[in-house]
Amino acid sequence: MNPRRKKRLFAVVGIIMGLGAAVGLTLYALQENINLFYTPSELVNGKGESHDMPFIGQKLRIGGMVVPGSVKRDDTTLDVEFKLIDTGPMVTIRYQGILPDLFREGQGIVAQGTLIEPTVVQAFEVLAKHDEEYMPAEVAEAVKGIKHEKPTYNLKDTKGDY
């Protein structure tokens, strides 16, 4: 091999190794910022065919339906605790702050937070769907089997009290 080809070969190998190292370091740095989406069933039983379980302290997103009657509010602080369900086990969500206006029991939500116990998530953000028809695709797929009855009320009975 002549010296010119040898020099080019080393340059190409060096560039490929440099790009590989840059991609590897970027992925390593971002692994703490990746929020994987889970349903309550996936959180408890594992995700996918390999049943990958999230670890305590992992940041994640979890979506499902708020269990009716499970919302507990602290009278002195903004702490709220509620349970989330899809088609299987329930997961407890703890949140400190003001919940969205559209948040209510029996409603689909997505919470972002940190897993603090195997079935408890400390949320730093709670998102509620904005109308009766929309649901994030991940949540809709996860809660296909849940039957949710819309609340029954009559607008004529409100007598203008909005």
Tens-digit pLDDT profile for residues 42-69: 888 888 787 888 888 888 899 989 999 9
- Residue 135's nearest CA partner among 68, 94, 86 is 86
Q: Could you report the per-residue pLDDT of 82-131, keeping only the tens digit for each?
A: 999 988 889 999 999 998 888 888 888 999 999 999 899 999 999 986 65
What is the domain partition of the chain in residue ranges?
Answer: 1-33, 36-146
Identify the pLDDT of residue 126.
93
pLDDT > 90? residue 81:
yes
Identify the pLDDT of residue 148.
52
Identify the pLDDT of residue 162.
43
Which CATH number applies to 36-146: 3.40.50.10800, 3.40.50.10420, 2.30.130.40, 2.40.50.140? 2.40.50.140
Identify the pLDDT of residue 107.
85
